[in-house]
Structure 1
């Protein structure tokens, strides 16, 4: 019988001569009487249920003949072995799934979403997870790249500049006009 023991420590405070409490570690748990009673009641109820289950089984076995007892105990052992084997199989498949997930660059936390019934279902569910993961990542990247409103362009210079505007231009502006549109520059200079 695997029995859990939760030790409850009741701490009494010592007072110094000055009347102040001594310092205590912060992680120390303090229980009230009601908390301790609740813990004890819970443990007692569990113990009582276990005892009743054992008593019930003993009565059931007492009513059986030798062959029935042997068959019942054999069936019970087979069930326990099957449960243990299933638990071991689940652990092995979980380890394999974690290994596959890490090899494929997926977070191992996704193992909770993997079908652990057999090796084929593990591979199939990881394939589906990988496909979904890649689609979600691609969608997120596309959203990030998409960006917002386009950057407004600087207003372009008017296509035609009059002779008066040209005469008022400084050297730098005339030089820019010459680089952009040499024909117009020559026409206005002319």
Structure 2
């Protein structure tokens, strides 16, 4: 794994994945050690040490030499946001799309770190409409779709892809 972490200055996918790894370790083990972080992330001890130093500079963790790594309040809030976002993505794929749970977990873990704040906000709204879909929610869904399209005309290419669905199913 390439170590570009030392150049991070904001909440990038790399930073968020470290925060999530630390949060998961604390949830499972009660504590997070640099050696455990390195193991979970699949990086060297030195790389994990550098990452923790950078996370401390960003104000998301606290760490003293040879001590445990602790999330700050900011780090905890980010970790919880990522965890709930990952869960929403996973449940969307399970209960709306119909993907098996293990596959949905894999998809969610790949997607969650690459979403910007606006996309996360839109997905939260979409999820809240679809997860307990009723007749009343149909109007809400229609309004949501219109807002997202911003009255854009759907290109012919999109309709062609819809027609291609049958062909794609045969090839799989």
- Rg comparison, structure with higher value: 1
TM-score above 0.5: no
Higher helix share: 2
Q: With the length of structure 1 as denominator, give the TM-score of the two structures.
A: 0.27
Highest relative contact order (Cα 8 Å, sep 6+), 1 or 2?
2
Question: Structure 2-normalised TM-score?
Answer: 0.29
